[in-house]
Structure 1
Amino acid sequence: MRNVAHLKLERGVGLIEILVTLFILAIGLLGVASLQFVGSFANKDAISRTQSELVANQVAERLRAAAIPPLTGDGLVVHNQYFASANYNFSGLSCTGDPYDCHCLSRPADVPDCEGNQCSALEVAQYDGWALSCAAVQTNPTTQLSVTCTDLIAGDASSCSAGSMIHILVSWPVHTAGNQQYSLHSRCNPSTGDKNSCIFKDILL
Protein backbone atom coordinates (compact mmCIF):
# COMPACT_ATOMS: atom_id res chain seq x y z
CA MET A 1 0.00 0.00 0.00
CA ARG A 2 2.85 2.39 0.77
CA ASN A 3 4.36 1.91 -2.70
CA VAL A 4 1.00 2.52 -4.41
CA ALA A 5 0.50 5.81 -2.61
CA HIS A 6 3.98 6.96 -3.55
CA LEU A 7 3.34 6.23 -7.23
CA LYS A 8 0.11 8.24 -7.21
CA LEU A 9 2.00 11.35 -6.07
CA GLU A 10 4.45 11.31 -9.01
CA ARG A 11 3.60 13.60 -11.96
CA GLY A 12 5.15 14.05 -15.42
CA VAL A 13 5.51 17.18 -17.59
CA GLY A 14 2.14 18.26 -18.90
CA LEU A 15 1.26 19.24 -22.47
CA ILE A 16 0.64 22.84 -21.45
CA GLU A 17 4.14 23.19 -20.02
CA ILE A 18 5.62 21.81 -23.26
CA LEU A 19 3.61 24.23 -25.39
CA VAL A 20 4.62 27.21 -23.25
CA THR A 21 8.28 26.19 -23.50
CA LEU A 22 8.04 25.84 -27.29
CA PHE A 23 6.32 29.22 -27.56
CA ILE A 24 9.06 30.97 -25.59
CA LEU A 25 11.73 29.20 -27.65
CA ALA A 26 10.03 30.24 -30.90
CA ILE A 27 9.95 33.90 -29.82
CA GLY A 28 13.64 33.77 -28.99
CA LEU A 29 14.51 32.19 -32.35
CA LEU A 30 12.46 34.82 -34.22
CA GLY A 31 14.35 37.56 -32.39
CA VAL A 32 17.69 36.06 -33.36
CA ALA A 33 16.58 35.70 -36.99
CA SER A 34 15.40 39.33 -37.06
CA LEU A 35 18.75 40.54 -35.72
CA GLN A 36 20.59 38.55 -38.38
CA PHE A 37 18.30 39.91 -41.10
CA VAL A 38 18.77 43.54 -40.05
CA GLY A 39 22.48 42.95 -39.47
CA SER A 40 22.92 41.69 -43.02
CA PHE A 41 21.62 45.00 -44.41
CA ALA A 42 23.88 46.99 -42.11
CA ASN A 43 26.85 44.85 -43.09
CA LYS A 44 26.12 45.30 -46.80
CA ASP A 45 25.85 49.06 -46.40
CA ALA A 46 29.13 49.17 -44.47
CA ILE A 47 30.91 47.23 -47.22
CA SER A 48 29.48 49.54 -49.89
CA ARG A 49 30.54 52.61 -47.93
CA THR A 50 34.10 51.34 -47.41
CA GLN A 51 34.52 50.40 -51.08
CA SER A 52 33.02 53.71 -52.24
CA GLU A 53 35.44 55.65 -50.05
CA LEU A 54 38.33 53.81 -51.70
CA VAL A 55 36.89 54.47 -55.18
CA ALA A 56 36.43 58.20 -54.48
CA ASN A 57 40.07 58.40 -53.40
CA GLN A 58 41.13 56.54 -56.55
CA VAL A 59 39.20 59.00 -58.72
CA ALA A 60 40.96 61.93 -57.05
CA GLU A 61 44.34 60.26 -57.58
CA ARG A 62 43.62 59.53 -61.26
CA LEU A 63 42.53 63.11 -61.87
CA ARG A 64 45.65 64.53 -60.25
CA ALA A 65 47.83 62.10 -62.21
CA ALA A 66 46.18 63.18 -65.49
CA ALA A 67 46.32 66.92 -64.75
CA ILE A 68 48.20 69.18 -67.17
CA PRO A 69 48.69 72.96 -67.43
CA PRO A 70 45.90 74.75 -69.33
CA LEU A 71 46.41 76.36 -72.73
CA THR A 72 46.18 79.78 -71.08
CA GLY A 73 46.58 80.87 -67.50
CA ASP A 74 47.87 79.09 -64.44
CA GLY A 75 46.76 75.99 -62.58
CA LEU A 76 45.90 72.49 -63.78
CA VAL A 77 43.15 70.92 -65.87
CA VAL A 78 42.23 67.43 -67.06
CA HIS A 79 40.70 66.22 -70.32
CA ASN A 80 37.03 67.03 -70.78
CA GLN A 81 36.23 63.33 -71.13
CA TYR A 82 36.61 62.92 -67.37
CA PHE A 83 33.44 65.00 -66.90
CA ALA A 84 31.33 63.18 -69.51
CA SER A 85 28.61 61.11 -67.85
CA ALA A 86 28.98 58.50 -70.59
CA ASN A 87 32.55 57.91 -69.43
CA TYR A 88 31.35 55.97 -66.37
CA ASN A 89 29.05 53.14 -65.31
CA PHE A 90 29.68 51.18 -68.55
CA SER A 91 27.51 53.51 -70.60
CA GLY A 92 26.81 52.03 -74.01
CA LEU A 93 27.71 48.49 -72.91
CA SER A 94 25.00 45.87 -72.48
CA CYS A 95 24.93 43.30 -69.70
CA THR A 96 22.39 40.75 -68.48
CA GLY A 97 24.18 39.82 -65.26
CA ASP A 98 26.61 41.21 -62.75
CA PRO A 99 28.31 44.25 -64.36
CA TYR A 100 31.68 43.33 -62.87
CA ASP A 101 31.53 39.86 -64.43
CA CYS A 102 30.30 41.29 -67.74
CA HIS A 103 32.70 44.19 -68.21
CA CYS A 104 35.64 43.87 -65.82
CA LEU A 105 36.99 40.33 -65.91
CA SER A 106 38.32 41.21 -69.36
CA ARG A 107 38.70 44.61 -71.02
CA PRO A 108 35.88 45.41 -73.49
CA ALA A 109 36.97 46.01 -77.07
CA ASP A 110 35.74 49.64 -76.97
CA VAL A 111 38.02 50.50 -74.04
CA PRO A 112 41.57 51.58 -75.00
CA ASP A 113 44.40 49.38 -73.75
CA CYS A 114 46.48 51.88 -71.81
CA GLU A 115 48.24 49.41 -69.53
CA GLY A 116 51.00 48.49 -71.93
CA ASN A 117 50.44 50.89 -74.81
CA GLN A 118 50.86 54.60 -75.42
CA CYS A 119 47.53 56.40 -75.14
CA SER A 120 46.33 59.92 -75.87
CA ALA A 121 44.79 62.06 -73.10
CA LEU A 122 41.32 61.14 -74.39
CA GLU A 123 42.11 57.42 -74.34
CA VAL A 124 43.57 57.63 -70.84
CA ALA A 125 40.37 59.30 -69.63
CA GLN A 126 38.26 56.59 -71.27
CA TYR A 127 40.41 53.86 -69.76
CA ASP A 128 40.27 55.47 -66.32
CA GLY A 129 36.48 55.77 -66.56
CA TRP A 130 36.20 52.04 -67.23
CA ALA A 131 38.71 51.03 -64.53
CA LEU A 132 37.10 53.25 -61.90
CA SER A 133 33.62 51.98 -62.79
CA CYS A 134 34.89 48.42 -62.30
CA ALA A 135 36.24 49.33 -58.88
CA ALA A 136 32.88 50.87 -57.97
CA VAL A 137 30.83 47.72 -58.72
CA GLN A 138 33.34 45.23 -57.34
CA THR A 139 31.39 44.69 -54.10
CA ASN A 140 28.00 46.20 -55.00
CA PRO A 141 26.70 45.92 -58.60
CA THR A 142 24.26 48.82 -58.08
CA THR A 143 26.94 51.41 -57.27
CA GLN A 144 27.09 54.44 -59.56
CA LEU A 145 30.00 56.84 -60.14
CA SER A 146 29.76 60.49 -61.14
CA VAL A 147 32.44 63.15 -61.72
CA THR A 148 31.25 66.72 -62.31
CA CYS A 149 32.68 70.22 -62.08
CA THR A 150 31.54 73.70 -61.06
CA ASP A 151 33.33 75.54 -63.85
CA LEU A 152 34.66 78.97 -62.97
CA ILE A 153 35.20 80.12 -66.56
CA ALA A 154 32.32 79.30 -68.88
CA GLY A 155 32.93 79.27 -72.61
CA ASP A 156 36.60 78.29 -72.64
CA ALA A 157 37.98 75.07 -74.10
CA SER A 158 38.02 73.23 -70.77
CA SER A 159 34.91 71.74 -69.17
CA CYS A 160 36.59 72.32 -65.82
CA SER A 161 38.82 75.38 -65.87
CA ALA A 162 41.86 75.71 -63.61
CA GLY A 163 40.82 76.42 -60.03
CA SER A 164 37.33 74.98 -60.48
CA MET A 165 35.84 72.62 -57.89
CA ILE A 166 35.53 68.97 -58.94
CA HIS A 167 32.76 66.88 -57.39
CA ILE A 168 33.20 63.11 -57.02
CA LEU A 169 30.07 61.16 -56.11
CA VAL A 170 29.84 57.40 -55.50
CA SER A 171 26.27 56.32 -54.67
CA TRP A 172 24.28 53.14 -54.11
CA PRO A 173 20.60 52.39 -53.31
CA VAL A 174 19.60 52.23 -49.66
CA HIS A 175 18.07 48.95 -48.46
CA THR A 176 15.94 49.14 -45.31
CA ALA A 177 14.54 46.43 -43.06
CA GLY A 178 11.67 46.69 -40.58
CA ASN A 179 11.57 50.03 -38.79
CA GLN A 180 15.11 50.96 -39.78
CA GLN A 181 15.31 54.60 -40.91
CA TYR A 182 17.96 56.42 -42.95
CA SER A 183 18.68 60.13 -43.06
CA LEU A 184 19.07 60.75 -46.79
CA HIS A 185 21.55 63.43 -47.86
CA SER A 186 20.47 65.78 -50.64
CA ARG A 187 23.81 65.33 -52.44
CA CYS A 188 23.08 61.61 -52.71
CA ASN A 189 19.53 62.13 -53.95
CA PRO A 190 19.32 64.92 -56.53
CA SER A 191 16.00 63.69 -57.91
CA THR A 192 12.70 63.38 -56.05
CA GLY A 193 12.03 59.82 -54.97
CA ASP A 194 15.68 58.74 -54.93
CA LYS A 195 16.79 56.71 -51.92
CA ASN A 196 20.56 56.52 -52.13
CA SER A 197 23.46 56.60 -49.76
CA CYS A 198 26.75 57.98 -51.04
CA ILE A 199 30.30 59.13 -50.57
CA PHE A 200 31.18 62.52 -52.06
CA LYS A 201 34.41 64.47 -52.30
CA ASP A 202 35.06 67.99 -53.54
CA ILE A 203 38.61 68.55 -54.71
CA LEU A 204 40.81 71.09 -56.47
CA LEU A 205 43.63 70.04 -58.77
Structure 2
Amino acid sequence: MLINKSFANQAGVSLIEILVTTLILGVGLLGVAALQISSLSSNQEGLFASQATAIAEDYASRVRSSKTSTVMPNTNISYAQFVAAYHNGNNAPLACAAAPAQLCRSDAGNAALDCTLAQLAIYDQWEVCSAAQEALPGGLVRVLNNGIRLTIVVDWDSEQGREDIGNVAVRNNNCSPLTGSNTRNCVILELVP
Protein backbone atom coordinates (compact mmCIF):
# COMPACT_ATOMS: atom_id res chain seq x y z
CA MET A 1 0.00 0.00 0.00
CA LEU A 2 1.31 3.42 -0.92
CA ILE A 3 1.37 5.98 1.86
CA ASN A 4 1.94 9.61 1.12
CA LYS A 5 4.84 10.59 3.37
CA SER A 6 3.77 14.27 3.62
CA PHE A 7 0.54 13.23 5.34
CA ALA A 8 2.12 10.56 7.45
CA ASN A 9 3.95 13.03 9.69
CA GLN A 10 1.05 15.47 10.09
CA ALA A 11 -0.81 14.89 13.32
CA GLY A 12 -3.35 17.76 13.30
CA VAL A 13 -3.75 21.49 12.95
CA SER A 14 -0.94 23.66 14.20
CA LEU A 15 -1.42 26.15 17.00
CA ILE A 16 -0.51 29.07 14.72
CA GLU A 17 -3.35 28.20 12.33
CA ILE A 18 -5.80 28.18 15.24
CA LEU A 19 -4.56 31.57 16.47
CA VAL A 20 -4.87 33.11 13.00
CA THR A 21 -8.39 31.71 12.62
CA THR A 22 -9.37 33.05 16.05
CA LEU A 23 -7.95 36.48 15.20
CA ILE A 24 -9.90 36.64 11.92
CA LEU A 25 -13.08 35.54 13.68
CA GLY A 26 -12.56 38.17 16.41
CA VAL A 27 -12.11 40.97 13.85
CA GLY A 28 -15.24 39.83 12.05
CA LEU A 29 -17.27 39.83 15.27
CA LEU A 30 -16.02 43.34 16.10
CA GLY A 31 -17.21 44.45 12.66
CA VAL A 32 -20.64 42.94 13.29
CA ALA A 33 -20.83 44.74 16.67
CA ALA A 34 -19.89 48.06 15.04
CA LEU A 35 -22.61 47.57 12.43
CA GLN A 36 -25.12 46.83 15.18
CA ILE A 37 -24.23 50.05 17.04
CA SER A 38 -24.44 52.06 13.82
CA SER A 39 -27.84 50.52 13.10
CA LEU A 40 -29.06 51.38 16.60
CA SER A 41 -27.89 54.96 16.14
CA SER A 42 -29.66 55.35 12.80
CA ASN A 43 -32.86 53.78 14.12
CA GLN A 44 -32.87 56.07 17.14
CA GLU A 45 -32.39 59.19 15.01
CA GLY A 46 -35.11 57.97 12.65
CA LEU A 47 -37.48 57.56 15.60
CA PHE A 48 -36.79 61.13 16.75
CA ALA A 49 -37.36 62.46 13.23
CA SER A 50 -40.66 60.55 12.96
CA GLN A 51 -41.85 61.86 16.31
CA ALA A 52 -40.85 65.43 15.39
CA THR A 53 -42.68 65.14 12.07
CA ALA A 54 -45.83 63.95 13.84
CA ILE A 55 -45.62 66.87 16.28
CA ALA A 56 -45.14 69.41 13.46
CA GLU A 57 -48.07 67.92 11.51
CA ASP A 58 -50.22 68.00 14.65
CA TYR A 59 -49.52 71.72 15.09
CA ALA A 60 -50.26 72.36 11.40
CA SER A 61 -53.62 70.57 11.64
CA ARG A 62 -54.45 72.52 14.82
CA VAL A 63 -53.75 75.78 12.98
CA ARG A 64 -55.93 74.74 10.04
CA SER A 65 -58.72 73.57 12.34
CA SER A 66 -58.63 76.81 14.30
CA LYS A 67 -58.84 78.82 11.11
CA THR A 68 -61.97 76.93 10.13
CA SER A 69 -63.60 77.31 13.55
CA THR A 70 -62.60 80.89 14.45
CA VAL A 71 -61.71 82.97 11.39
CA MET A 72 -64.21 81.78 8.80
CA PRO A 73 -67.35 82.36 10.91
CA ASN A 74 -66.00 85.63 12.37
CA THR A 75 -65.28 88.38 9.86
CA ASN A 76 -63.81 90.62 12.59
CA ILE A 77 -60.63 88.51 12.73
CA SER A 78 -58.16 89.30 9.96
CA TYR A 79 -55.71 86.85 8.43
CA ALA A 80 -52.82 88.80 9.98
CA GLN A 81 -54.41 88.55 13.44
CA PHE A 82 -54.88 84.82 12.97
CA VAL A 83 -51.27 84.21 11.92
CA ALA A 84 -50.01 86.41 14.77
CA ALA A 85 -52.00 84.37 17.31
CA TYR A 86 -50.20 81.17 16.32
CA HIS A 87 -46.77 82.80 16.23
CA ASN A 88 -45.23 83.85 19.54
CA GLY A 89 -43.71 86.95 17.97
CA ASN A 90 -40.01 86.43 18.61
CA ASN A 91 -39.06 83.12 16.95
CA ALA A 92 -38.11 81.73 20.38
CA PRO A 93 -39.24 78.25 21.44
CA LEU A 94 -42.85 77.99 22.55
CA ALA A 95 -43.31 78.15 26.31
CA CYS A 96 -44.91 75.18 28.00
CA ALA A 97 -44.06 75.58 31.66
CA ALA A 98 -47.62 75.58 33.01
CA ALA A 99 -50.96 74.55 31.58
CA PRO A 100 -53.09 77.44 30.33
CA ALA A 101 -56.04 78.50 32.46
CA GLN A 102 -58.54 77.83 29.68
CA LEU A 103 -58.83 74.21 28.44
CA CYS A 104 -60.05 74.64 24.89
CA ARG A 105 -60.39 70.95 23.98
CA SER A 106 -61.91 68.09 25.93
CA ASP A 107 -59.26 66.37 28.00
CA ALA A 108 -59.51 63.51 30.51
CA GLY A 109 -63.26 63.84 30.92
CA ASN A 110 -63.22 67.63 31.18
CA ALA A 111 -65.47 69.35 28.69
CA ALA A 112 -63.95 71.84 26.30
CA LEU A 113 -64.65 75.47 27.06
CA ASP A 114 -65.55 78.17 24.58
CA CYS A 115 -62.32 79.95 23.76
CA THR A 116 -61.28 83.02 21.88
CA LEU A 117 -58.73 82.74 19.08
CA ALA A 118 -55.94 83.88 21.42
CA GLN A 119 -56.90 81.35 24.11
CA LEU A 120 -57.14 78.54 21.57
CA ALA A 121 -53.72 79.43 20.13
CA ILE A 122 -52.12 79.47 23.60
CA TYR A 123 -53.69 76.10 24.41
CA ASP A 124 -52.56 74.55 21.12
CA GLN A 125 -49.02 75.87 21.58
CA TRP A 126 -48.89 74.46 25.11
CA GLU A 127 -50.10 71.00 24.02
CA VAL A 128 -47.66 70.76 21.11
CA CYS A 129 -44.77 72.06 23.21
CA SER A 130 -45.54 69.52 25.95
CA ALA A 131 -45.65 66.71 23.38
CA ALA A 132 -42.21 67.72 22.07
CA GLN A 133 -40.72 67.78 25.56
CA GLU A 134 -42.13 64.33 26.35
CA ALA A 135 -41.21 62.61 23.07
CA LEU A 136 -37.83 64.14 22.20
CA PRO A 137 -34.60 64.70 24.16
CA GLY A 138 -34.55 68.44 24.81
CA GLY A 139 -37.51 68.82 22.44
CA LEU A 140 -38.58 72.34 21.46
CA VAL A 141 -41.09 73.81 19.02
CA ARG A 142 -40.50 77.11 17.25
CA VAL A 143 -42.91 78.92 14.94
CA LEU A 144 -41.55 81.49 12.51
CA ASN A 145 -43.76 83.91 10.64
CA ASN A 146 -42.64 84.65 7.08
CA GLY A 147 -45.54 86.92 6.25
CA ILE A 148 -48.10 84.70 4.60
CA ARG A 149 -46.82 81.36 5.87
CA LEU A 150 -45.75 79.81 9.14
CA THR A 151 -42.58 77.75 9.46
CA ILE A 152 -42.93 75.11 12.16
CA VAL A 153 -39.58 73.88 13.50
CA VAL A 154 -39.48 70.94 15.91
CA ASP A 155 -35.93 70.45 17.15
CA TRP A 156 -34.16 68.18 19.62
CA ASP A 157 -30.70 67.72 21.10
CA SER A 158 -29.16 64.95 19.01
CA GLU A 159 -26.21 64.51 21.40
CA GLN A 160 -28.47 64.06 24.42
CA GLY A 161 -30.51 61.46 22.58
CA ARG A 162 -27.40 59.41 21.81
CA GLU A 163 -25.82 59.14 25.25
CA ASP A 164 -25.86 55.34 25.10
CA ILE A 165 -23.73 55.23 21.95
CA GLY A 166 -21.17 57.92 22.68
CA ASN A 167 -22.93 61.29 22.17
CA VAL A 168 -22.64 61.37 18.40
CA ALA A 169 -24.33 64.52 17.09
CA VAL A 170 -26.14 64.71 13.79
CA ARG A 171 -25.28 67.86 11.90
CA ASN A 172 -28.20 69.34 9.98
CA ASN A 173 -27.11 72.56 8.31
CA ASN A 174 -30.72 73.68 7.84
CA CYS A 175 -31.29 73.67 11.61
CA SER A 176 -28.36 75.78 12.80
CA PRO A 177 -29.72 79.17 11.62
CA LEU A 178 -33.14 78.41 13.12
CA THR A 179 -32.06 76.94 16.46
CA GLY A 180 -28.77 78.77 17.04
CA SER A 181 -26.98 75.50 17.83
CA ASN A 182 -24.87 73.00 15.92
CA THR A 183 -25.91 70.07 18.13
CA ARG A 184 -29.65 70.22 17.46
CA ASN A 185 -31.40 68.32 14.71
CA CYS A 186 -34.81 69.41 13.47
CA VAL A 187 -37.82 68.89 11.25
CA ILE A 188 -39.04 71.93 9.31
CA LEU A 189 -42.62 72.19 8.04
CA GLU A 190 -43.88 75.10 5.94
CA LEU A 191 -47.56 75.92 6.37
CA VAL A 192 -49.85 78.33 4.56
CA PRO A 193 -52.88 78.41 6.87
Give the alignment's TM-score, normalised by structure 1.
Answer: 0.65
Paired with 1:181 and 1:125, the residues of 2 have a C-alpha distance of 33
Query: 1:168·1:202 contact (CA, 8 Å) conserved in 2?
Result: yes
| Corresponding position of 1:143 | 139
Matching residue of 1:196:
184
Question: Take 1:80 and 1:195, find their aligned partners in 2: how far apart are those partners?
Answer: 29
The secondary structure found in structure 1 opposite 2:182 is coil
Query: Runs of 4+ in structure 1 displaced over 4 angstroms?
Result: 175-178, 180-183
Q: Which residue in 1 is equivalent to 2:103?
A: 113
1:28 CA drift (Å): 0.6
1:137 Cα shift?
4.1
User: Deviation of residue 118 (structure 1)?
Assistant: 0.7
- 1:136 aligned counterpart, secondary structure: helix
**Unaligned segments of structure 1, at least 5 residues:** 94-107, 152-163
Residues matched between the structures, number: 169
For normalisation by structure 2, the TM-score amounts to 0.69
What displacement does 1:36 show? 0.8
- State whether residues 81 and 125 of structure 1, in contact with CA within 8 Å, keep that contact through their aligned partners in structure 2: yes
Separation (CA, whole Å) in 1 of partners of 2:95 and 2:171: 26
1:169 to 145, 153, 172: 153
Q: CA deviation at 1:165?
A: 1.7
Percent identity, aligned pairs only? 26
2:125 is matched with 129
Distance, in Å, in 2 between the alignment partners of 1:130 and 1:72 is 22
Deviation at 1:79, TM superposition (A): 7.1
**RMSD of Structure 2 on Structure 1 (CA):** 3.5
Gaps of 5+ in 2: none
1:13/1:197 Cα in 2 relative to 1: closer, same or farther (>3 Å)? same
2:18 aligned partner: 18
Superposition deviation, residue 70 in structure 1: 6.3
Query: Secondary structure of the residue that 2:82 maps to in structure 1?
Result: coil
Contact persistence 1:63–1:78 (CA under 8 A) = no
Q: Partner amino acid for 2:184?
A: N
